Amino acid sequence: MPKHLSIQTLFADQPVGTRQIVKGWVRTLRNDQFLSISDGSTIKTLQVVISKEQVGEEICKKLQTGACVETEGVLQKSLGKGQEIELICDRIEILGESDPNEFPIQMKRHSLEFLREKAHLRFRTNTFGAVFRIRHHLSFAIHKYFNDRQFFNLHSPIITGSDAEGAGEMFRVTTLDIENPPRLENGSIDNTADFFGKPANLTVSGQLEAELAALALGKVYTFGPTFRAENSNTSRHLAEFWMIEPEVAFNDIQDNMDLAEDFLRYCIRYALDHCKDDLEFLQDREANEDKLKPVDERQALPLIQRLEFVANNTFERITYTEAIDILLQSNHYKKKKFKYDVKWGIDLQSEHERYLVEKHFQKPVIITGYPAAIKAFYMRLNEDGKTVAAMDILVPGIGEIIGGSQREERYDVLLEKCKQFNIPADHIWWYLETRKFGTCVHAGFGLGFERMVMYVTGMQNIRDVIPFPRTPQNAEF
RNA sequence: UCCCUAGUAGCUCAGCUGGUUAGAGCACAUGACUGUUAAUCAUGGGGUCCCUGGUUCGAGUCCAGGCUGGGGAGCCA
């Protein structure tokens, strides 16, 4: 008894004339005769040709959208147009019925907002099938990229006792009874009674741990979940998201930029090479959605052309100081169209980043040399004493997709930075020790995985590129 | 957290300056058709107009508060 083949395999190999078993979910039944089924292996559906007389009225009525079926028959070249192959069915079995009065997913356009409330069933749609297949391929591409280049995958801890990161609000992890926690005599909570004997949180970044490993293993990367308890409710933020953080010993800021750019372009190329059908579907979908929008809100280029452009062209590289000059000399600034003022020392606002990327350069841009005051304590101080070796990569439509830096490897300078940023040295003694024992130049960056998936799929809301989004006031499913 | 905006059938939406019994397309049911491509055609069923309160002879429509969704900002990845 041969195992049944996936629809993807049937389309790839086209074993015409052979007997096949196909299992999947019903999309539509057209003309009481043509059953369109999907098994998730590809965006393509297989047309199964049935005869109402042979199948019988009872079974025919149960071939409703969403039902799960097993069909058997001979594969042949399709007599109709619209598909290459079809299965001439002589046996069909309903594995799982689907009441059409209750099943919410229909063969019609649904709003993404509606489907978000049906996250357990939205995998059944073409759009989310495509998105999550692409998400998988990108995930695989990331591991392949680093593995092929002798990086080691580091599993940084998800629960951390470190709170020195400053990357954002943290989720507390505790086994204490929140209704009635143990208290000290002065009334404050007795954290020594907690599971770890001290406060613990979900990680906001694996970077510090990755640095420790890089200073021994050379080239490492993390790829895991991270958590931010910020009350930020936007289409680009999640409370739980996946982050990729490479860290490389002996890399300086230039090497870091080279790596980040090569990595991003590799991943996009990989998606173009491995997800053609899904990208074409999403491209058509986007084009149809755009028709409903005002002209100035539409995409300038179709999805695949946008990706080809990024994969085939080098990124623009400018310093923060140059970026400020460009903004100051823009007509946009002279006409006072920026809401926030522009001057050296400010943190670039979304509107500034968008102007640089979407209006001025119209391609991905890497900005380096930010003022030390607006960046994290661990970034390496430049010779000018006022900027740091930080880099952000901005892409059209998404904004910041990568943030990274060369790390401060000089013990004295790092210790001074800790003081300036009010980080108690005894909280991160282990981090500081790496600068005492065989310190070296090193650099790394962080990439929000969902933002990459957004960019590649063209999806506009981050909640639509992760299976079960976690956002403020929402942890359904 | 702040600003803007929306909530009407299972879904997507229309419903004008308040005025008879709240509409359409899709979906669903029944029938016809049978090489269809989100099949087509005919007929039919289907409503807490988000909730609470108010104004009014009369509220889907106006007002106040709340809830939920969406967009933007901040924070960031």
Q: What is the β-pairing status of strands A387-395 and A399-406? A: antiparallel
For A277-293, the pLDDT digits (tens) are 999 999 999 998 888 77
A434 in Cβ contact with A215 (< 8 Å): yes
For A334-378, the pLDDT digits (tens) are 998 899 999 999 999 999 999 999 999 999 999 999 999 999 999
> Which nucleotide's C1' sits nearest to the alpha carbon of A103?
B10
Same-domain status, A331 and A277: yes
In chain A, positions 37-76 with C-beta closer than 7 Å to nucleic chain B are 47, 49, 52, 61, 64-65
Q: What is the β-pairing status of strands A365-371 and A316-319? A: parallel
Rounded, the Å distance between the CA of A168 and C1' of B75 is 8
A232 touches strand B (CB under 7 A): yes
- pLDDT: which is higher, A323 or A232: A323
Work out the average pLDDT over A167-172.
Answer: 84
Work out the average pLDDT over A450-466.
Answer: 96
Give domain status of residue A311, yes or no: yes
Looking up residue A48, the CATH number of its domain turns out to be: 2.40.50.140
Looking up residue A258, the CATH number of its domain turns out to be: 3.30.930.10
Same-domain status, A222 and A82: no
Give domain status of residue A287, yes or no: yes
- Among the candidates A72, A103, A134, a domain finishes at A103
For B74, nearest residue by CA–C1' is A232
Rounded, the Å distance between the CA of A110 and C1' of B49 is 21
Same-domain status, A24 and A150: no
A69 in Cβ contact with A26 (< 8 Å): yes
**DSSP state, residue A355:** I
Give domain status of residue A180, yes or no: no
In chain A, positions 104-123 with C-beta closer than 7 Å to nucleic chain B are 104, 106-111, 113-114, 116
Rounded, the Å distance between the CA of A267 and C1' of B23 is 50
Same-domain status, A218 and A299: yes
Give domain status of residue A440, yes or no: yes
Q: For chain A, give me the number of helices (H) and strands (E)? A: 15, 16
Give domain status of residue A181, yes or no: no
Share of chain A above pLDDT 90, in %: 82
pLDDT for res A164: 58
A34 in Cβ contact with A46 (< 8 Å): no
In chain A, positions 304-323 with C-beta closer than 7 Å to nucleic chain B are none
Same-domain status, A146 and A14: no
Query: What range defines the domain where residue A212 resides?
Result: 124-169+204-464
First to last CA, chain A: 38
pLDDT at A418 over 80: yes
- Among the candidates A70, A103, A136, a domain finishes at A103
The CA-atom distances, in angstroms, between A110 and each of A27, A105, A125, A266 are 14, 8, 9, 33
Same-domain status, A298 and A220: yes
A237 touches strand B (CB under 7 A): yes
Give domain status of residue A152, yes or no: yes
The CA-atom distances, in angstroms, between A241 and each of A228, A440, A454 are 8, 31, 13
pLDDT for res A318: 96
Same-domain status, A73 and A139: no
Task: List chain B nucleotides near protein: any atom < 7 Å from a Cβ.
Answer: 1-2, 10-13, 26-30, 33-39, 68-77
Rounded, the Å distance between the CA of A110 and C1' of B60 is 24
Same-domain status, A233 and A97: no
pLDDT at A124 over 60: yes
Same-domain status, A47 and A130: no
Same-domain status, A88 and A158: no
Q: How confident is the model at residue A299 (pLDDT cuts 50, 70, 90)?
A: confident
Same-domain status, A299 and A410: yes
Same-domain status, A222 and A92: no
* Domain total in chain A: 2
The token duo for A39 is: 């098994």
Give domain status of residue A333, yes or no: yes
